[in-house]
Structure 1
Amino acid sequence: MSRSPQRPFPWWYGVAVFPIPVFLSVVAVSAVAGIMPAIESGSGEAVLSFFAVLFLIDGINLLVGLFVVVFLALDVFTVRESFASWQPTWFWVGAGFVHIAGTLFALFYVVSVPLLSYYLYRRGKRVGSPSL
């Protein structure tokens, strides 16, 4: 495939949503702290609603994580195919997969959030970001 002289397509917008699962995980932890008194009192409805909210948050986190990986791969591919001075490696897509793992085990966010932040920073400095 030939390289195009124009700017790469702005797939990075899809990568920039990576903080959403981190925020929702914080919301889930806050929900655990808030629901504990209702669980201790034996309220069945509170327990069911709590698990419904956790299931919803985990589902959204997983979908956003997949979204980030797909858009990260598309962005890496487009930047590599352009005439940009920076040619990112496919290693960056691995950071997206670590981010998906973070939706299941929040400790992985310690690795994925700095990596994805650095990717976006470096991409902005080397390739530029599209203006609206």
Structure 2
Amino acid sequence: MAAHRPYPDLGALLAACDEAAYDLTPADVHEALALESAAGPAPDAPPAARTALAAAHAAYESRFGHAFVICLDGHRPDEYLDQVLAGIRRRLAHEPDEERSVAADELRALARSRVVRALASAPGKGRPGRPV
């Protein structure tokens, strides 16, 4: 992606991100998943929520061998804990091949979100008419 810079706009950059993500080999996805870590609950979460989340993450990692990844764009911060717990519980029923595919989709969504956030915090980048 870096070799093709600058991109004319944010849309072109995100399209390139998607294309690069779809070209990842299973080994690339495995490597990316290995670099992710399980997110903990908000510091003010009740102890029972912390325990439930820790147990859910442990069960997921035991079954699939990598951290649970989920993109929470579109959810309010007060919904994150419930979304993560529901996502883990739902995805624990997946077969490993199906879950690898779902996890790869979540990695793509996370990468897009991270690019958008990084550009939002960079002065002058990602604005209309400005290359990124």
Question: Structure 2-normalised TM-score?
Answer: 0.28
Higher relative contact order, chain-length normalized (CA < 8 Å, sep 6+) = 2
Higher share in helix: 1
User: Highest CA radius of gyration, 1 or 2?
Assistant: 1
